[in-house]
Amino acid sequence: MPAQIEFISNVKRLRRGEEMTALTRGPTAKDVILILLAKCHSNAMNGITRIEKLSFILALSPDFRDLREKLAFRPLHYGPYSDLIAESIEILHENDYIDAEPLNFELQISNRADEVSMEEMCDTKEFIETRNFHLTAKGKIIADHRYGELSLGQRREIDRIAKQYGQLDLKELIRRVYSLAPEDMLRLSRIREEMMCN
């Protein structure tokens, strides 16, 4: 059964009070996104880049070894990037598991704790926090259920990552990812020197 159909099927079963398919295969990209949203920012998070970087940190954990291959991170302009995470965010949004609201660009600039030039922010939307994502009611149900299906070690690791990295401003989060990422994940970076020097 394809993952998308299984995911939607599980929501229908949950609504009927039936048992959902166990996470014997490990969490999917969609599970990771929902769980991170539930644990890191009171069911909300600004920007795909933030979700990407937190997912990457999670995939580095020995408790989530299987995620590394599933999420297929590749080097991109601001470090490790997973097409599957980006696509899954859109699928979750289209199916009403998460909601997305555009962020005011000027507000983003004035609220940033770091010094980022307007030119740098406009260069690519990959770095700009363009939307605020938050869980819908049914997304929260799925996130809580999927979190409960994880092993104790996996739940502790998600809680640790949420506490240690979940509240960082975006630039600091990217710095931390650069300090953890293997060399090959940083080879296409446009900001590598800046991140490694600070």
CB 129 within 8 A of CB 169: no
Stretch 169-190: mean pLDDT: 88
Non-local CB neighbours of 20 within 8 Å, separated by 6+ positions: 10, 13, 14, 145, 149
pLDDT for residue 147: 96
Reference 53, options 193, 189, 144; nearest CA is: 189
Q: Which of the two residues, 190 and 48, has the higher pLDDT score?
A: 48
Instruction: Flag whether 188 is in a domain.
Output: no
Identity of residue 170: L
- 70-74, 75-79, 82-86: lowest mean pLDDT where? 75-79
pLDDT for residue 77: 83
Instruction: Flag whether 173 is in a domain.
Output: yes
pLDDT tens digits, residue range 107-151?
455 444 444 444 454 454 444 557 889 999 999 999 999 999 999
pLDDT of 82 over the 80 cut: yes
CB 53 within 8 A of CB 155: no
Instruction: Flag whether 94 is in a domain.
Output: yes
Instruction: Flag whether 92 is in a domain.
Output: yes
pLDDT cut 90: percent of the chain above it: 48
pTM: 0.77
Domain that holds residue 98: 27-103+115-183
Calculate the average pLDDT of the chain: 80
Rounded Cα distance, 16 and 195, in Å: 49
Rounded Cα distance, 75 and 85, in Å: 14
Rounded Cα distance, 75 and 82, in Å: 9
pLDDT tens digits, residue range 148-165?
999 999 999 999 999 999
Instruction: Flag whether 68 is in a domain.
Output: yes
DSSP letters for 107-167: HHHHH-SS---HHHHHH-TTTS--EEEEE-HHHHHHHHHHHHHS-HHHHHHHHHHHHHHTT
pLDDT for residue 4: 52
List the structure tokens of 152: 């104790």
Q: Rounded to 5 degrees, what are φ and ψ at 18?
A: -85, 165
Total domains in the fold of the chain? 1
pLDDT of 76 over the 60 cut: yes
Instruction: Flag whether 64 is in a domain.
Output: yes
